[in-house]
Structure 1
Amino acid sequence: MASPTTIEAPAQSSIRVTCRENRSAANAAVQHIIKPFASLILRPGSGEPKGSPRLNPHKHAERICKIRESQTEDTWIYTFENPLESERRTPPAHKIYYFAGGGFRGVPEKEHWLLCAELSMKLPEYEINLVSYPLAPNSPASHSFAHLERLYDALAERSRKENFRVTLFGDSSGGNIVLVLGLYAASKYLQSPSGQCPVETIMAMCPATDLRNENPDIDVVDPRDPILSRKTTTEVAHGWKGELSLSDPRVSPILADLSAFRKAGIKVDGVTAGNDVLTPDAILFRKKLGECGVQGDWLDWEKQMHCFPLLFPFHVHEGTAGKDWILDVLRVNVKSGAK
């Protein structure tokens, strides 16, 4: 397979975009195989109880890392401990809090646990934490965000006392949540700026940025998307919003004042995929970040499916390459102070 083509955005842009176009035969086969089962992936269910569901770490991830369970503000958090770093002499100066996707209603899958284990093994500069956040239908956005704001306030206070910086990382619906929570973090910091904002960076993998789902370009991508569809994402959006409007920035962060990220010094990185119905709005979101002067690195890969870096455990080339791109950005963020 030919090497991917990488195109950097103009140097004067605050958002640097790496564009790749190639697709391997194995990747094309995976998308073909998945498409007939797409309706089962985000099928509605009875849902988890209200509040943060207690999780069972996946056994494959536990073979790689020790996973420690704790609670903060009634939220279950799962901390990954690299066995090679078990004798860490100094507390980590950077912590990742990962919010897994699942249509705002599904608990983390095997691939999410394995990604967190991979992050723990490959990024000794960070402590990796998976957050079990409240889920629809029993905890929609109109109820969940008060819960998540309390969680963030507690983590922010801890970061100041223990002197660490926070990276919010999420995929799909989790990507939506980390963007909204990041905006909350920025607003809290800007109310009384002192020192640095606890949140240093955000990594949003194939995020849902506009739950109104009105972009006409979605119809162009829809036939190519092997997992999602306009119909599915519309149903998911209505299930998540609860009493909020779809135009509320707490569910559609593209409608927020994104300059808050720049003012708070928060770098926003992300990944988009060409065969993903969430990408047309995510690209508009990315462009709006650039217009607001927000710093960020983004990977845009044509012909890829939604959240393709999660394919890395299956040894699909693009999954591994996408995951490695994320690792590289997170490493550089530590070295450069995310600037």
Structure 2
Amino acid sequence: MAVSSEAPTKSSIRVTHEENRSTANAAAQHIIKPFASLILRPGADELAGSPRLTPNKHAERVCTIKESQTADTWIYTFENSQDPKVQAAAEHRLYYFAGGGFRGVPAKEHWMFCTELCMKLPEYEINLVSYPLSPNSPALKSLPHLELLYRALAQQSIDENFRITLMGDSSGGNIALVLGLYAAAEHLKAPSTGPCPVETVMAMSPATDLRNENPDIDVVDPHDPILSRKLIEEVAHGWKGELPLSDPRISPILADLTLFRKAGIKVDGVTAGNDVLTPDAILFRKKLDECGVEGDWLEWEKQMHCFPLLSAFHVREGTAGKDWIVDVLRANLNSAANASKSSGAP
């Protein structure tokens, strides 16, 4: 991948820029656009609470997927079928929150993406989280549920000596960021207990501002083959429930992002040029930089929303985006290990 880096001397966020787009990718976006409304049509409303999922059969051909519950939340853990002892020894656990407009369960591409992470990152235990969905579990119901889940996972991380990465795409990226801020705030109440259980957050095409007031959304709208201003406004109103759209629990761009820096949480991300969520995601990334939060971001022009998920369909740019994420996640572990050695920690 030919890249250039945007890294001013005082910048805490490192940005990798990509602009090329294959003819096949351009054609795929053109073909998808007329059918986007069908692709994103919500299914039957899920009951309140964490919905129990059926693992994708294609993913199960690659990995063993184990179902469990923590704090009344269904979690699906991926294991390398050929060598299950590899993930069993992992000292880092990644919890993935799939996108779907806060109302849809994980799709095939989410299951397949998690299998890729499992196979490529033996240092991590990969977990897919089934979080409560709207309309029966809007933010005011879902977020307290997820806070209970986080507290349970944080206690496990202390008892079993592992660190946590929160990751998500689209609406799931919003959840990962909001939960990361909650983790930071909880840690800062008692920082003497050791490092924050959450070490990093990885957000792919995240929804960062549910007010959707950015005028640049209208500039991108004609070029987005999947989303639209109309759709993201509909999704935002479905998720917010009784909360105002300006509440930082649903619009993390309005939160105190210095919490990430104070808690030592690195925030990484991916944005795509042909994605109506990108204008606000870039503002969010710049705000992270202003707050001194460490992070690595991939900014790829002319790509569609959540393009790394296209790796499930062997699309070249999707595979490249997925590989970038894998490289960053692997580098995060190496950086953490070096920092631990420098501090003299056991």
TM-score (norm 2): 0.95
1:117 to 108, 115, 118: 115
Q: Greater shift after overlay, 311-320 or 85-94?
A: 85-94
- Cα distance in 1 for residues equivalent to 2:321 and 2:278: 16
Aligned equivalent of 2:211: 212
Say if 2:87 and 2:123, in contact at 8 Å, map to a contact too.
Answer: no
Aligned partners of 1:62, 1:10: CA distance in 2, in Å?
A: 44
Instruction: Report SS of the residue matched to 2:55.
Output: coil
Tell me: CA distance 1:90–1:104, structure 2 relative to 1, closer, same or farther (3 Å): closer
User: In structure 2, what residue type is equivalent to 1:203?
Assistant: M
Q: Aligned to 1:62, which of 60, 72, 76? A: 60
Structure 1 residues 296-335: aligned runs within 5 Å: 296-335=295-334
Q: Tell me the distance in 1 between the aligned counterparts of 2:5 and 2:30.
A: 28
Q: 2:42·2:104 contact (CA, 8 Å) conserved in 1? A: no
1:202 corresponds in structure 2 to 201
For 2:8 and 2:237, the matched residues in 1 are separated by: 38
> Structure 2 CA distance, aligned partners of 1:15 and 1:224?
27
1:279 maps to amino acid? T
2-side partners of 1:315 and 1:301: how far apart?
18
2:133 is matched with which residue: 123, 132, 135? 135
Contact 2:102 2:171 in 1 (8 A): yes
- Distance in 2 (alpha carbons) for counterparts of 1:89 and 1:242: 39
Report what 2:343 is aligned to: none
In 2: Cα distance, 1:132 partner to 1:217 partner: 32
Aligned position for 2:162: 164
Alignment counterpart, residue 84 of structure 1, candidates 55, 60, 82: 82
Contact kept, 8 Å, 2:101 with 2:171, in 1: the verdict is yes
Q: Over residues 235-270 of structure 1, what are the superposed CA-to-partner deviations in whole Å (9 max), with x where a residue is unaligned?
A: 000000011110000110000000000000000000
Aligned counterparts of 1:29 and 1:261: Cα–Cα separation in 2? 39
- SS of corresponding position for 2:6: coil
Aligned equivalent of 1:287: 286
| Alignment check: 8 A CA contact 2:96 2:128 kept | yes
Residue type of the alignment partner of 2:279: P
CA–CA separation in structure 2 for the residues paired with 1:179 and 1:315: 28
**Is the contact made by 1:4 and 1:21 (CA closer than 8 Å) also made in structure 2?**
no
Instruction: Write out per-residue CA displacement over residues 91-120 of structure 1, whole angstroms, 9 at most, x where no aligned residue.
Output: 321000000000000000000000000000
Q: Which residue of 18, 21, 29 maps to 1:20?
A: 18
Deviation at 1:90, TM superposition (A): 6.2
Distance 1:29 1:231 in 2: 24
Quickly say closer, same or farther: Cα 1:289–1:89, change in 2 above 3 A.
Answer: closer
Deviation at 1:89, TM superposition (A): 8.9
Q: Which of 1, 4, 11 is equivalent to 1:6?
A: 4
What SS is found at the alignment partner of 2:122? coil
Q: Does structure 1 retain, via aligned residues, the 8 Å contact 2:139–2:241?
A: yes
For the Cα contact (< 8 Å) 1:136–1:239, is it kept in 2? yes
Indicate the residue corresponding to 1:249 in structure 2: 248
Give the SS at the match of 2:201: strand
User: Could you tell me how far apart the structure 1 residues matched to 2:85 and 2:296 are?
Assistant: 33
Q: 2:332 and 2:87 mapped to 1: Cα distance?
A: 22
Q: Which of 51, 54, 57 matches 1:53?
A: 51
How far apart, in 1, do the equivalents of 2:335 and 2:42 lie? 43
Matches of 2:273 and 2:118, distance apart in 1: 28
CA distance in 1, matches of 2:142, 2:308: 27
What residue ranges of structure 1 are gaps of 5+ in the alignment? Answer: none
Matches of 1:281 and 1:91, distance apart in 2: 39
Q: Give the alignment's TM-score, normalised by structure 1.
A: 0.97
**Structure 1 residue 319: deviation in Å?**
0.3
Range 30-39 or range 166-175, more displaced: 30-39
Overall identity of the aligned pairs, in %: 76
Question: 8 Å contact 1:182–1:202 — kept in the other structure?
Answer: yes
- In structure 1, give the amino acid aligned to 2:227: L
Aligned residues between the structures:
337
SS across alignment from 1:337: helix
Q: Which runs of 5+ in 2 are unaligned?
A: 340-346
Q: By how many angstroms is 1:7 displaced?
A: 2.9
In 2: Cα distance, 1:145 partner to 1:232 partner: 22
Looking at structure 2, the residues matched to 298 and 90 of structure 1 have their Cα atoms a distance apart, in angstroms, of: 29
* Distance in 2 separating the partners of 1:309 and 1:255: 27
1:242 corresponds to which letter in structure 2? G
- Opposite residue 81 of structure 1, the aligned amino acid is E
Once the two structures are TM-superposed, the CA of residue 42 in structure 1 deviates from its matched residue by 2.6
Comparing 290-299 with 41-50, which one deviates more in the overlay? Answer: 41-50
**Cα separation, 1, equivalents of 2:64 and 2:290:** 42
Residue aligned with 2:4, SS: coil
Supply the AA of the counterpart residue of 1:122.
K
- Report what 1:266 is aligned to: 265
Q: Secondary structure at the match of 1:61?
A: helix
Select which of 34, 37, 49 maps to 1:36: 34
